[in-house]
Structures are given as C-alpha cells and as structure tokens.
Amino acid sequence: MPHIRATVSVSLVVLVLSSIVVCHQNMAQSTSPRPNRDINVVLAAHDKELLAIADVVGVYAGTMQDSQTPCLRVMLARKNPESERKIPRMIDGYPVVIQVTGTIRALDRP
C-alpha cells in the first residue's frame, strides 16, 4: 500500500507540474515579444472586442514611433482612464498603442 500511495503522489506532482508548464506556455503566447501570427490576422480577431470598449473609435495596424516596429493602434474619441485600463498593452505578441484622436468624422461638409 505505501508503494501505491507513493506512485499516486508522484503522478499528482507530475500532473500539477505539467499543468503549470501548459499555463505558462499559453501566457507566453499572449505576451511573447515575437508574434506568431500576421498582424492583420490578429487585428481581425480582436477589432470587434476593442471597438466594444467605450470611446474606442478605431483600431489599425501601424508602427511604433520608430516607424518600423509593427503595433496595433487603438484610437479613443476622448481620454477615458477606465477604457484605457481595459485595453491590453500587448495582443498576441504585438504592442498596443493608445491614441486619443477625437471622433472620426466624414469630411463631406464645411
């Protein structure tokens, strides 16, 4: 019996450790500095949920200040700290930049 208990205990430890590794890998996928997917695929997968956040008026694939590093840019109609807290800082390995741009208007009239 002691031998069986020891085997069960070791199995549980292995199972728990495996779970920790899997969780860590999933977390790494969402925060990795090296994206696995094309930025446009990531954008298409997340644009609706981002636009559902209050005062978000747009999202696009752009670049960081260096004009080279790809990033997701989220546009806000006005400064809204609560909305800014809801917007992830990284999505699928791409940094997210928040811009307060104002409302986007059709420019058909004076």
Partner 1 sequence: MLEGDKVLGGNNRIAQTGDPVIQPGLIDEQCNRNLAQTVGTLVKKRSLATSNTDCAIARIVSGMVRTDGAILGIGTISHSISAASLNQHVKKSGRSTGTTHSHVSGLNATVRVAFTNECNGGTYYKTFNGQIVVANPSHGFLRSSDSGSLLVQDISPNPRAIGLLFAGNNTEAFANPIGQVLNFLGATMVGN
Footprint of partner 1 on this chain (CB under 8 A)? 40, 43-44, 47-48, 51, 57-63, 67, 73, 75, 99, 101-110
CB of 95 to partner 1, least distance (A): 14
Between the alpha carbon of residue 11 and those of residues 4, 34, 69, 70, the distances in Å are 11, 34, 45, 44
Residue 51 tokens read as 């636009």
Complex with partner 1: residue 3 or 109, whichever CB lies closer: 109
CA 60 to chain centre: 14
Phi, psi of 87 (to 5 degrees): -85, 120
Complex with partner 1: residue 24 or 78, whichever CB lies closer: 78
CB of 90 to partner 1, least distance (A): 18
